[in-house]
């Protein structure tokens, strides 16, 4: 297996762990974003951390997005004590539609598998037009288009 194959597998496995930690039935694009933020020594990680988007900052943005979404339907986290997510260590997380699409977009952003890099996967996740990722980044004050441009700028200069 090539380095990118191992990396993709590691991102999917870590994203699945993030989904299980959330109590989610499926691994979605935002879980992959959290996973991308944990793997150091990649252009994807460097771009995220340079933009102030380490794993903890992304987690906080996702938590704000969750609270904002609940508020949109008239539910206030301050008014209710929600139970902690159910975590079943025996359960595996299926790949959700947004994660599958993010990976497909990542592959499409490269000129072929031999040229695929972690930054391409980040582009795939950031390319999500609707859903949790763009809402969370917007609430965090991140310009998604600018962040994607930064990722694209790294591609010609980064081998990994």
Is a pLDDT exceeding 80 seen at residue 87? no
The C-alpha atoms of residue 136 and residue 22 are separated, in whole angstroms, by 16
Beta bridge partners of 95: 27
pLDDT at 112: 86
Predicted confidence (pLDDT) at residue 74 exceeds the cutoff of 80? yes
Q: Hey, CA dihedral for 63, 68, 69, 75, is it positive or negative? A: positive
Distance separating alpha carbons of residues 81 and 113, to the nearest angstrom: 47
Q: Average pLDDT in the 67-94 region?
A: 78
Q: pTM score, two decimals?
A: 0.92
Please check the confidence at residue 56 and state whether its pLDDT lies above 80: yes
Give the pLDDT band of residue 75 (cuts 50, 70, 90): confident
| CB atoms inside a 10 Å sphere around CB 4 | 18
Rounded distance between C-alpha atoms, residue 160 and residue 143, angstroms: 24
pLDDT given at position 73: 86
CA distances from 39 to 24, 72, 107, 124, 158 (A): 22, 34, 19, 16, 15
**pLDDT classification of 1: cutoffs 50, 70, 90:** confident
Residue 79 pLDDT grade (very low, low, confident, very high; cuts 50, 70, 90): confident
Q: What is the pLDDT of residue 77?
A: 75
């Amino acid at each position: 297996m090539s380095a990118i194959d191992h990396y993709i597998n590691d991102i999917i496995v870590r994203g699945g762990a993030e989904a299980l930690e959330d109590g989610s039935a499926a691994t979605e694009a935002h879980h992959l974003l959290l996973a991308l933020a944990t793997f150091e020594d990649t252009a994807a990680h460097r771009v995220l951390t340079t933009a102030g988007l380490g794993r903890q900052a992304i987690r906080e943005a996702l938590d704000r997005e969750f609270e904002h979404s609940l508020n949109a339907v008239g539910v206030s986290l301050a008014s209710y004590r929600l139970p902690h997510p159910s975590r079943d260590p025996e359960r595996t997380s299926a790949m959700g539609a947004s994660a599958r699409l993010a990976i497909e977009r990542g592959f499409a952003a490269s000129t072929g598998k031999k040229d695929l890099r972690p930054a391409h996967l980040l582009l795939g996740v950031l390319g999500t037009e609707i859903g949790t990722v763009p809402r969370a980044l917007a609430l965090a004050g991140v310009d998604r288009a600018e962040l994607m441009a930064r990722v694209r700028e790294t591609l010609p200069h980064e081998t990994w």
